[in-house]
Amino acid sequence: MNIVVLVKQVPAVSDIQIDAKDNNLVRVGAPSMLNPVDMHAIEAAIAVKEAVGGTVTILTMGTALAGEVMRDGIAVGADKGVLVSDERMAGSDTLATGKILAKAIEKVGGADIIFTGKRSTDGDTGQIPPAVAQYLGMSLISYAESFEVEGTTVKATRKNNGGIETVEAQLPIVCSVMETMNAPRQPKIRGKMNAKKAVFDVLRLEDIGLDVKEAGKAGSATKVTELFAPEPHPMGTMVQGNTATQAAKNLVDILVSQKIL
């Protein structure tokens, strides 16, 4: 069973900077961490490995520093990590990123199961799992809260419009997971030592068979024209009174004074 987990390095602060020239996040120099829900995807992969056997490969795309977040997966039982890194990939939108990741997965031997987090905390689109599934011709289970493999069949429960849906699908499959799916295990000393010593393969565009025109801004179908923080909503006013009648009178007085009534 070949299991791949897609993870992402994200800013570790809420007050992130935006490049005024291209409206992209400024990642260089910013504190970073593993996208939190990705640890649940890693846990799901390790659980499947323990149940049916196989290997778990952590795969990420980004700068050289992005590879460091894969050590969290190695520490808890993943077998290896692969970094997709090429300066010509900078500025890729979700369409281009999905294609790059799909080609990288093919390069490492394909996958029976691909786990991801439901979305990343920086882009927050949730578009990578369906994009990868589409490029690889795989089924997709999104927002999964449970996942079980029986032979070549997957049984899962997933969030669906406020309810829970039980689904079945055939391997190979892409599955994005919720934070409520599991409780990620803590690494042991041996795992931390293995993670510290781990050496990751690095793939560039030529390695995965992509032309430079298929990555970065050239390979992107969308362009960010503006980014801005939404204006905070003003706090409401609590109208009080010793009795309900008095509170109602106070409310009317306020509305009259503001010429609403």
Instruction: Using pLDDT thresholds of 50, 70 and 90, give the confidence band for residue 248.
Output: very high
On the question of pLDDT at 233 being above 80, the answer is: no
Looking at residue 18, what is its pLDDT?
Answer: 59
Domains and CATH numbers, the chain: 2-214 (3.40.50.620), 236-261 (no CATH)
Percent of the chain exceeding pLDDT 90 equals 74
Q: Whole-model pTM?
A: 0.81
Quick one: 166 exposed, middle or buried, by C-beta within 10 A (0-12, 13-18, 19+)?
Answer: exposed
197: exposed, middle or buried (C-beta count within 10 Å: 0-12, 13-18, 19+)?
exposed
Give the span between the Cα atoms of 117 and 48, in whole angstroms. Answer: 16
Q: So what's the pLDDT on residue 225?
A: 80
Please name the residue that has the structure tokens 């795969």: 59
For the cut 90, the answer to whether the pLDDT of residue 28 exceeds it is no
Mean per-residue pLDDT for 47-55? Answer: 97
Instruction: Select the more confidently predicted residue: 15 or 246.
Output: 246
Give, in order, the Cα–Cα distances in Å from 131 to each of 112, 142, 221, 236: 16, 12, 13, 42
pLDDT over 90 at 57, yes or no = yes
Average pLDDT, the chain: 90
Per residue in 82-134, pLDDT tens?
Answer: 999 999 999 899 999 999 999 999 999 999 999 999 988 887 788 999 999 99
